[in-house]
Amino acid sequence: MSKEIFYTICLLILVVFLGNGCNHSEKDVEKEKADQLKNNLTIYCENSLAPLLQQLKPQFEQKYSCRLKLVNDCSQNLIGLINFTKQGDLFIPDSYSALSILRQNSAVDITDSIFIGYNSLVLVVANDNPLNITGDLIQLADNGISLIIANPESSSLGFQTKNLLSNYNFENSNLFENVIKNVVQLSIDSKGMVKDVSKGKADVAITWFSDLYQESNSNLIDSVLLSQEYTTEVYAGVLSCTQNPILAKYFIDFVSSDKGSAVAKQYGFHKRKSPVF
């Protein structure tokens, strides 16, 4: 056998060996990525739910040997992100209304959901309530009252606030149209509203009952229950684009379990409608 033929055969063997090695390596990488997906969940949540989920996160990760990634923002941004990426496993907004908006305006659907609890709208005022705000919504239309509300277009809180005020009749028109003149700030969502009132940026804000339980917020302001109670249902929804429907199901069951509900109660979410201070 000539040297040229021998070298050619050796070169062909080397090429085949390296090719098989590369294919094997690529398959290993793909398998590793698939395994990682099976052990991870991406959860989209509105900001008022982030502290509750952060509390539950290490318990669930330890129990199921997985990793949870929390993406928190206002509902408008979260729905836009879900629509754009078509990735993620769960959507947990402040109100069931955001789940309905997602289903109506997205190719991504909700395949399963579970009830977490009720949240209520409350008024927050400066400590000692210097203006004697009573919880009567008509008072919010008085001249001289400055108000912070969430943007109805960007968050569940804003949507529910507008719904509350729009369905309240006042001088042959809805109250929202009369209150809007007193709004000095449209917040993206509930984040920071309590602190803004405590700093004197407004007399009153309409926010979630659950916000009073965050970062010692209740020490910064006083809260006033509405004269007409307004509650909304909070659900966790599994996205149709999930790569791990079984683990996603385990998570929503975990959140609604007795242990999860006990933690939720600590953050102001109740299984009964009337909150108790």
| Tens digits of residue pLDDT in 146-202 | 999 999 999 999 999 999 999 887 777 789 999 999 999 999 888 888 889 989 999
Which CA distances in Å does 163 have to 151, 196, 245? 12, 23, 34
CATH superfamily of 41-118+233-266: Periplasmic binding protein-like II (3.40.190.10)
**What local confidence, expressed as pLDDT, does residue 34 receive?**
43
CATH assignment of 119-231? 3.40.190.10
10 Å CB burial of residue 112 (0-12, 13-18, 19+) is middle
- Domain(s) of CATH 3.40.190.10: residues in the chain: 41-118+233-266, 119-231
- Say what the pTM is: 0.83
- Residue 132 CA to residue 154 CA, distance in Å, equals 30
Alpha-helix residue ranges (DSSP H) falling in 180-275: 193-198, 245-256, 258-266
First to last CA, the chain: 94
43-67 average pLDDT score: 96
